[in-house]
Structure 1
């Protein structure tokens, strides 16, 4: 089985961070979204991964080589952002008829990965949502099999959203449906969606079993990123020893990267600090700060600060990209 991880999206809702950093590499609870996904699948026995990259794709490949050198990694470039269906179709020559496990690169889900991989059926991850119009939606029969799927319906017939995780045994049919939809120009909301290919597969007799994920952490925009960071920090009871830092109070949960220097500050709760970050005379709460950043005389609340950034002065809620210097004094 091969894992397919689409990470070619531009991450427009996470700008300015995504101008210089793929959203799959945004720090989250001491890791990255991409590492959460890879570790889950590695632990379940998957060794071969296909990454669909685009803008800043070299950062994805460099990260994987450094942090996951034990996996067999392939890279496919999606030059035009034409949807997840178009992206997955680019991997056909690498998949070569094997079963595939597709996991979108901006979402972390908690579920029994081994049980999904060992199921005799193709499977689609789902979760009940309040507003299904924002998602691909699945209708499920009383035996747990999916009767139909539709992408972002105006009038949903179900509140079961597809979370972006698919185990597909019939990969040749998947690629036939994808290629057919692309040839026909079958666009939904301006893109070639994988949902339309799944609809095609169901029409050709494939049985997809639904499985519910226990938790669904989204990194699609600043608000959901910060909520996911806080939830994961609490889940893993992340903390740090305040005695390592001069005149500093740590309020768990927090994740503090290696090499950080913190003085005269209060950090937490719900804070992730990237490695080699420097804080002095600052208070940071409910925030994510990238690696190699410098914060001085600042109170940060509900903020996302990119890597290699410098910020000082006053109280703010900020959303700052990489390589930025701001003086609020």
Structure 2
């Protein structure tokens, strides 16, 4: 089994946090979004994950090494492909065409999920969906009485169905998808200036591929600050039975309200932390109350009372704001 993760976008809706860190590498409960994504994908497969391919932009050598380490942690070979121009979902996957063979999972690194099932690798293809209130913002599918997908509609302006595609796909034969993607690009078949994956899926369906819908219990957005905080809260609830407090953390006169994640070499004094707080490595917090928030690595937080907030890496914050989003390397005093 192979996993392909297109993640070339910079995540403009999550700025300022993505100005210095690609969105899939922003951390949730101590691990990058993309790390948690591939772990959850691997858990869906009964087969060993042989390869994890990442499709990225110009993120630099440090990011590339981190991604290869994520693949290695799964016991898989890591590969890096590049998407130089943002030409759509089909184009992004096509950039990893050399990895499109055999059993393949494709997952866009925009969201996380939780599900309790394993992939039926004998199916031609599986497309995971979730019911949404406003289907006009998504690609959606229609399903017949036999449970087979009959139609793909990209961002319908009138109601057709509320089954939104969440960006996770399984293909029994990656080569078939590769050929359809190549056909779109060779013939410049585009929608609004982009090559759309739904067009390739439609061609596959017309040529005899049966797609079944898959469902997930939780579909977690990471697109903006509030969504990121909410996803962190949900993830901490999912993994609350794990050991989430590093042995190297130093806690003095501090109350932790579970669930919380406390990273390595964190120092917290005279504070109340939690519930639903993630504190990154090497961060120092004193005389503060922090609730339902993410504080990334190497930050210094003093005399604050914050909730529903994201504080970036290497931030120094002294104040009392209640709801904030502070990017990396920022220094604030009130």
Q: Find the counterpart in structure 1 of residue 236 from structure 2.
A: 233
Say if 1:117 and 1:167, in contact at 8 Å, map to a contact too.
no
Q: Find the counterpart in structure 1 of residue 21 from structure 2.
A: 21
Q: Find the counterpart in structure 1 of residue 270 from structure 2.
A: 264
Q: Find the counterpart in structure 1 of residue 255 from structure 2.
A: 249
- Gaps of at least 5 residues in structure 1 are none
* Of 99, 107, 118, the match for 2:121: 118
Residues paired across the two proteins, number: 326
Say if 2:121 and 2:172, in contact at 8 Å, map to a contact too.
no
> By how many angstroms is 1:68 displaced?
4.2
Which runs of structure 2 are paired with 1:1-329 in the superposition (5 Å)? 1-43=1-43, 44=45, 45-69=48-72, 70-95=75-100, 97-112=101-116, 114=118, 116-237=119-240, 240=245, 244-327=250-333, 329=334
> By how many angstroms is 1:307 displaced?
1.0
> By how many angstroms is 1:190 displaced?
3.7
Say if 1:233 and 1:255, in contact at 8 Å, map to a contact too.
yes
SS at match of 1:81: coil
The structure-2 alpha-carbon separation of the partners of 1:284 and 1:258, relative to structure 1 and needing over 3 Å to count, comes to: same
> By how many angstroms is 1:18 displaced?
0.7
Larger deviation, residues 33-42 vs 152-161 = 33-42
- Gaps of at least 5 residues in structure 2 are none
TM-score normalised to structure 2 length: 0.91
> By how many angstroms is 1:22 displaced?
1.2
Q: Quick one: distance in 2 between partners of 1:187 and 1:203?
A: 18
TM-score normalised to structure 1 length: 0.92
Structure ranking higher in helix proportion: 1
> By how many angstroms is 1:128 displaced?
0.9
Q: Deviations over 1:105-136 (max 9, x none)?
A: 1221222453x253433111011111111111
SS at match of 1:19: coil
Q: Quick one: distance in 1 between partners of 2:66 and 2:221?
A: 21
Q: Quick one: distance in 2 between partners of 1:252 and 1:291?
A: 20
Q: Deviations over 1:117-163 (max 9, x none)?
A: 53433111011111111111010111111001111111131100111
Q: Quick one: distance in 2 between partners of 1:208 and 1:67?
A: 30
The structure-2 alpha-carbon separation of the partners of 1:102 and 1:113, relative to structure 1 and needing over 3 Å to count, comes to: farther
Say if 2:253 and 2:269, in contact at 8 Å, map to a contact too.
yes
> By how many angstroms is 1:235 displaced?
2.3
Say if 1:150 and 1:196, in contact at 8 Å, map to a contact too.
no
The structure-2 alpha-carbon separation of the partners of 1:110 and 1:241, relative to structure 1 and needing over 3 Å to count, comes to: closer
